[in-house]
Amino acid sequence: MSFDETRLDKLIRHRFGKSIPQSIIEKAIRNRDILVNGQKGKASDKVSDDVKIFVHPKIREIFINFNDEKQIDYKDYIDQFKKMIIYEDDELIIIDKPSGLPVQLGSKLKLAVDGMARAYNPDARLAHRIDKETSGITVLTKNIASARAMLYLFQNKKIEKNYVAIVNGKLPSDEFIIDAPLLKIHDKVVVDYLSGKPSTTKFKVLVKDEMSGISLILATPITGRTHQIRVHLSSIDCPILGDTKYGNKKYDFLCLHARYISFRKPNGKKISITTKLPEYFFMKGNID
């Protein structure tokens, strides 16, 4: 078989298996675990017989595992996905994602939003990502044009969004801003004033319990870095309740919820959505 003018992602599937999710391939390419002639590429790049494709050994193992394990039949989860939908039109699907459900498949086979969405609509694709443990608003698109439009809105800060979190610790004031550059090192993010990327989050206290040190706060990210809200709060010794990665107060759930989003579509229609907080935000010992 000749691979002249064949997409890079198609070549990877031919070599390692048709069952490998597109999200896994694209993430490996973004992380430079797949290189074309030693350079970072894109899934859509056309490759030929004379190029050298490097695939990191850890990624090779992940690819192989996808063919060794039983595949999930996402058609069985369409009804579950429908229950998460809070807005839908000809271009967009917006869901209220529960905590614990990843938006994309990881290194092991498991249930994820992107697989559920494609079973519901084959053209559905994620417009952005939120952490597995974070609950709340997640946007998907139904076609290439809407995907490009949402990417433009996110990149040009034309989307208003905020999160609600429960934190443990003494906050600096009822309203404050954390402007601390962030650097990703492997699977964690740290504040790094020398090498980090500019990162800014605004915070406002909604409810405060002086006795317990627990507060319900509103977080508005100005930039969109990985784990930004979680790391910024941890950096002032006020970690989010249930954040075992950046905090020390254990809880069954990460109390961080993507509550609100507002933006204007290219046709001028304004979309504004506010979701309810999960029930575990109001369990005994949290916010009454």
Quick one: DSSP state of residue 242? Answer: T
**How do strand 135-141 and strand 256-264 relate by DSSP bridges?**
parallel
Mean pLDDT of 265-271: 94
pLDDT single digits (tens) 84-108: 999 999 999 999 999 989 998 765 5
Q: Torsions phi, psi of 5, nearest 5?
A: 55, 40
Q: How much is the average pLDDT of 248-272?
A: 91
Would strands 160-168 and 135-141 be described as parallel, antiparallel, or unpaired?
unpaired
**Per-residue model confidence (pLDDT) at position 2:** 45
Q: Are residues 91 and 180 in the same domain?
A: no
Residues 196 and 229 in one domain: yes
- Residue 189 and residue 227 in contact, taking contact as beta carbons nearer than 8 Å: yes
pLDDT more than 70, % of the chain = 91
Q: Among 51, 156, 127, which Cα is nearest to 41's?
A: 51
Q: Provide the CATH number for the domain around residue 188.
A: 3.30.2350.10
pLDDT at position 68 over 90: no
Using one digit for the tens of pLDDT, what is the confidence trace for 228-239? 999 999 999 999
Q: Which of 115, 133, 155 is the last residue of a domain?
A: 155
Mean per-residue pLDDT over the chain, rounded: 88
Phi, psi of 135 (to 5 degrees): -100, 165
How many structural domains is the chain composed of?
A: 3
Give catalytic residues, as residue numbers.
131
Please check whether residues 128 and 167 belong to one and the same domain.
no
**Residue 5 or 112, more confident:** 112
Measured distance CA(250)–CA(123) in Å, rounded: 39
CA-based end-to-end distance of the chain:
65
Task: Note the pLDDT tens digit of each residue in 31-48.
Answer: 888 888 888 888 888 887
Q: pLDDT at residue 286 above 70?
A: no
Contact 127, 281 (CB under 8 A): no
* Confidence (pLDDT) at 1: 43
Q: Rounded to an integer, what distance in angstroms lies between the CA atom of residue 63 and that of residue 60?
A: 5
Q: Is 194 contained in some domain?
A: yes
The CA-CA-CA angle for residues 61, 63, 64, to 5°, reads: 65
39, 68, 97 - which closes a domain: 68
Q: What is the mean pLDDT of residues 166-193?
A: 94
Nearest alpha carbon to residue 34 among 18, 51, 50: 51
- Note whether residue 198 is domain-resident: yes
Give the residue numbers spanning the domain of 112. Answer: 74-155
Q: Phi, psi at residue 136, to the nearest 5°?
A: 115, -160
Query: What pLDDT shows up at residue 3?
Result: 47
Cross-strand bridge partners of residue 200? 179
The answer to whether residue 225 sits within a structural domain is yes
Output the six-digit token pair for 52. 């050298």
pLDDT for 230:
97
Q: Check the CA dihedral 251-97-24-228 and report its sign.
A: negative
Final residue in a domain of this structure, among 155, 175, 195: 155
Helices 57-68, 8-16: inter-axial angle, 10-degree rounding: 60
Across the range 114-134, mean pLDDT stands at: 93
Pair 89, 27 in one domain = no
| 278 DSSP 8-state letter | P
How many other C-beta atoms lie within 10 A of the C-beta of residue 68? 9
Q: Are the CB atoms for 158 and 264 separated by under 8 Å?
A: yes
Scored b (16 or more CB within 10 A) or e, 8-34 reads bbbbbbeebeeebbbbbbbbbbeeebb
94 vs 73, more confident: 94
